[in-house]
């Protein structure tokens, strides 16, 4: 795990006073040990402390931060849980005392790591920070302590220990850990971690397999150029629907209502040999040995594409999980197999492990997709929700505790995410509104909710990233600064409902004269996104 203390936005100043505190002796002397400060049953290993000073460290091209140079002391130490043969390593970055501004920030991980990996969290005693390495103890035996650790406990502990440590490290006399503003920033698995804290405070990984399985169910494998051409045509057709021609589809709701892929029947497609386009292909395997793809859209191509655009359905046609937005792309689709000289579905990669290791508790890394059906996916989705309902799942909608403690949640989702459908986040926001404000209508309930939990759809953004298919679309890298303003300075009023050209859900953007954005709300647009 990995925490960053103070602001990432500090300038380069007074590294001297920092280095005088950045010694393992000093850190060891201020480790929190009081039972009031650290979680019950935890013992910090006082001999495990490391401390090193970083001066003018450059953060560039980061997903969540603007470029910045910072000074900090990188500190790590280990702790154990009573009667458990484990060892957890936490890492914190401390700013110099004059730059410390009373904030504690925890950051999230991605995929099967609980953080960036740099903290080297060892969650089970097995010496690995990758959760898929430790989730089972052997065939048929789940590693429940590691599952709960990963689910929410480790982040909670890192935060509680980190806040107590921060207060004693700076030893400012008038500051204690409850005086610190506490933030969490994360996306993807890191976003799940944020939600896990707000709710006590899993994404349905099975759904990652849906496009490939749906294609297999049709037993017809369109060349990947078909999907690319549909994506390009959709972006072209829907770009102007938001009032601004910029290659960004900021109104996928209108796109869904007004662009019909069947209009592409009989149109031609062409992709050069050997092209390794990244367009809309998710994280699937890419075979650079693809031949020239030159053809015309037939009925089968349209049928498969329509099926993917309308989401995973069971054998009786009932919707199992939401589709991606149109103009997002299709996730993992087809790939050329030069051995058989034919098109086939992509390899499930790490998403298959969710089924083999997490659901079947089998020590298998390469899942066999042959014969897997839509109904199998449905069964696995239900099994995952049942099995991990109180550990990994983050759909609990009652945020009363979080709200009562003054918590504020800023939640966003790329409109062109092809890893996790945008609609999943909208549904979560909706479920919180319905549970927290059951007697208020949609409009009034959302107004109340927006006082402390705001949801933003980021036009054109991909999965926690900018989008090569819609290059003019931005990705918010100033969220943390906005969050600080909202929490500490109660920003609202003048710009309420509009933050840096993003509308607060359920409003959607529209550019009236090609430059001026307004946030508008239409019943049909809301229902098209839900």
The listed partner (Ca ion, ligand NAG, none) that binds 242, CB under 5 to 8 Å by sort, is Ca ion
Angle at 151 between CA 211 and CA 207, to 5 degrees: 5
Using CB under 6 A as the binding rule, whether residue 271 contacts ligand NAG is answered as yes
Burial class (CB in 10 A: 0-12, 13-18, 19+), 190: buried
239 vs 301, which CB is nearer to Ca ion? 239
Select from ligand NAG, Ca ion, none the partner in contact with residue 253, using the beta carbon and a kind-dependent cut-off of 5 to 8 Å: none
Residue 236's SS3 state is helix
Active-site option among 81, 413, 429, 463: 463
Report the Cα 279 to chain-centroid distance in Å.
20
- Residue 248 interface partner, choices Ca ion, ligand NAG, none, CB cut-off 5-8 Å depending on type: Ca ion
How many residues are present in the chain? 530
Restricted to residues 65-84, the positions that interact with ligand NAG (CB under 6 A) are 69
Which listed residue (74, 193, 203, 242) binds Ca ion by CB under 5 A?
A: 242
- Which residues lie below 8 Å from residue 148, measured CB to CB, with a gap of 6+? 391
> In 3-state terms, what secondary structure has residue 316?
coil
User: Strand locations in 398-492, DSSP E?
Assistant: 409-414, 453-458
User: Using CA atoms, how far apart are residues 280 and 8, in angstroms rounded to an integer?
Assistant: 33
* Active-site position among 7, 167, 188, 419: 188
Q: Is 244 in the site for Ca ion (CB under 5 A)?
A: yes
Distances (CA, A) of 151 to 420, 421, 454: 18, 21, 24
Going from the C-alpha of 102 to that of each of 51, 94, 172, 200, 299, the distances in angstroms are: 21, 11, 10, 24, 62
Residue 294 lies near ligand NAG (rule: CB under 6 A): yes
Give whichever of 222 and 460 is closer to Ca ion, judged by the CB atom: 460
The verdict on 276 binding ligand NAG (CB under 6 A) reads no
Q: How far is the CB of 1 from ligand NAG (least distance, A)?
A: 12
| DSSP 8-state secondary structure symbol assigned to residue 394 | -
Query: If we measure between CA atoms, which residue out of 179, 155, 156, 152 comes closest to residue 166?
Result: 179
Active-site annotation holds for 413: no
What are the residue ranges of helices labelled H in 269-387? 299-309, 349-353, 374-387
For ligand NAG, the binding residue among 24, 116, 347, 391 (CB under 6 A) is: 116
Q: Tokens standing for 463? A: 């999965």
Contact flag: residue 136 with ligand NAG (CB under 6 A): yes
CB 43 → ligand NAG: shortest distance, Å? 22
Measured from the CB of residue 496, what is the shortest distance to ligand NAG in angstroms? 16
Q: Tell me the window of 158-166, 182-190, 433-441, 519-527 that interacts with ligand NAG (CB under 6 A).
A: 519-527
- Rule CB under 6 A: which of 348-377 touch ligand NAG? 362-364
| Distance separating alpha carbons of residues 244 and 493, to the nearest angstrom | 26
Q: Any contact of residue 244 with ligand NAG (CB under 6 A)?
A: yes
Helices (H) and strands (E) in the chain, counts: 17, 20
H/E run at residue 431: helix 422-436
**Among 118, 171, 276, 516, contact with ligand NAG (rule: CB under 6 A):** 118
How many C-beta neighbours within 10 Å does residue 405 have?
Answer: 8
The contact pattern for ligand NAG, residues 221-240, with x = CB under 6 A and - = no contact, is ----x--xx--x-------x
239 flagged as catalytic: no
Would residue 417 show up in a list of annotated catalytic residues for this protein? Answer: yes
| Closest separation in Å from C-beta 431 to ligand NAG | 25
What whole-number distance in Å separates Cα of residue 255 and Cα of residue 265? 18
Q: Does 508 bind Ca ion (CB under 5 A)?
A: no
Give the integer Cα–Cα distance in Å for 315 and 20: 67
Q: How far is the CB of 354 from ligand NAG (least distance, A)?
A: 16
Contact pattern for ligand NAG over residues 20 through 59, marking x by CB under 6 A: ------------------------------------x-x-
Which residues contact ligand NAG by CB under 6 A? 12, 56, 58, 69, 116-118, 136-139, 176, 178-179, 225, 228-229, 232, 240, 244-245, 260, 262, 270-271, 294, 362-364, 514, 520, 522, 524
Which residues are part of the catalytic machinery? 188, 417, 463
List of residues contacting Ca ion (CB under 5 A): 239, 242, 244, 246, 248
């Amino acid at each position: 795990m990995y925490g960053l203390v103070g602001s990432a936005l500090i300038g380069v100043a007074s590294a001297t006073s920092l280095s005088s505190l950045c010694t393992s002796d000093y850190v060891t002397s201020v480790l929190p040990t009081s039972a009031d400060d650290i979680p019950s049953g935890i013992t910090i290993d006082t001999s495990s402390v490391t401390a090193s000073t970083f001066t003018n460290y450059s953060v560039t091209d980061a997903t969540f931060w603007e470029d910045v140079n910072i000074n900090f002391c990188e500190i790590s130490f280990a702790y154990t849980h009573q009667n458990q043969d484990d060892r957890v390593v936490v890492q914190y970055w401390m700013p110099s005392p004059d730059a410390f501004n009373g904030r504690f920030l925890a950051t999230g991980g991605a995929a099967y790591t609980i953080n960036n990996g740099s903290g080297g969290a060892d969650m089970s005693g097995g010496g690995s920070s990758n959760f898929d390495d430790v989730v089972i103890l052997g065939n048929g035996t789940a590693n429940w302590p590691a599952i709960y650790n990963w689910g929410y406990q480790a982040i909670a502990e890192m935060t509680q220990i980190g806040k107590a440590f921060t207060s004693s490290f700076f030893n400012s006399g008038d500051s204690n850990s409850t005086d610190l503003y506490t933030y969490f920033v994360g996306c993807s698995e890191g976003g799940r971690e944020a939600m896990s804290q707000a709710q006590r405070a899993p994404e349905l990984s099975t759904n990652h397999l849906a496009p490939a399985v749906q294609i297999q169910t049709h037993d017809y494998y369109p060349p990947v150029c078909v999907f690319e051409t549909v994506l390009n045509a959709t972006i072209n057709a829907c770009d102007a629907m938001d009032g601004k021609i910029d290659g960004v589809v900021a109104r996928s709701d209108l796109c869904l209502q007004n662009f019909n892929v069947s209009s592409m029947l009989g149109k031609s497609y062409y992709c050069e040999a050997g092209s390794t386009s990244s367009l809309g292909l998710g994280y699937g395997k890419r075979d650079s040995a693809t031949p020239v793809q030159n053809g015309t859209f037939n009925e089968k191509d349209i049928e498969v594409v329509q099926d993917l655009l309308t989401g995973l359905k069971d054998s009786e046609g009932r919707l199992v999980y939401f589709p991606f937005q149109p103009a997002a792309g299709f996730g993992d689709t087809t790939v050329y197999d030069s051995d058989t000289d034919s098109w086939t579905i992509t390899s499930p990669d790490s998403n298959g492990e969710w089924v083999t290791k997490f659901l079947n508790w089998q020590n298998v890394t390469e899942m066999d997709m042959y014969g897997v059906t839509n109904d199998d996916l449905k069964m696995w989705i239900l099994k995952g929700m049942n099995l991990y309902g109180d550990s990994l799942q983050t759909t609990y909608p009652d945020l009363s505790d979080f709200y009562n403690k003054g918590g504020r949640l800023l939640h966003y989702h790329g409109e062109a995410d092809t890893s996790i459908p945008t609609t999943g986040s909208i549904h979560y926001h909706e479920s919180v509104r319905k549970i927290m404000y059951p007697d208020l209508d949609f409009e009034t309930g959302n107004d109340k909710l927006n006082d402390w939990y705001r949801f933003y759809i980021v036009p054109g953004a991909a999965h926690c990233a900018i989008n090569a298919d819609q290059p003019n679309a931005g990705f918010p890298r100033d969220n943390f600064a906005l969050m600080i303003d909202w929490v500490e300075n109660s920003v609202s009023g003048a710009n309420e409902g509009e933050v840096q050209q993003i509308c607060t859900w359920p409003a959607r953007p529209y550019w009236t004269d090609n430059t001026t954005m307004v946030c508008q709300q239409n019943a049909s647009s809301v229902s098209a996104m839900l």
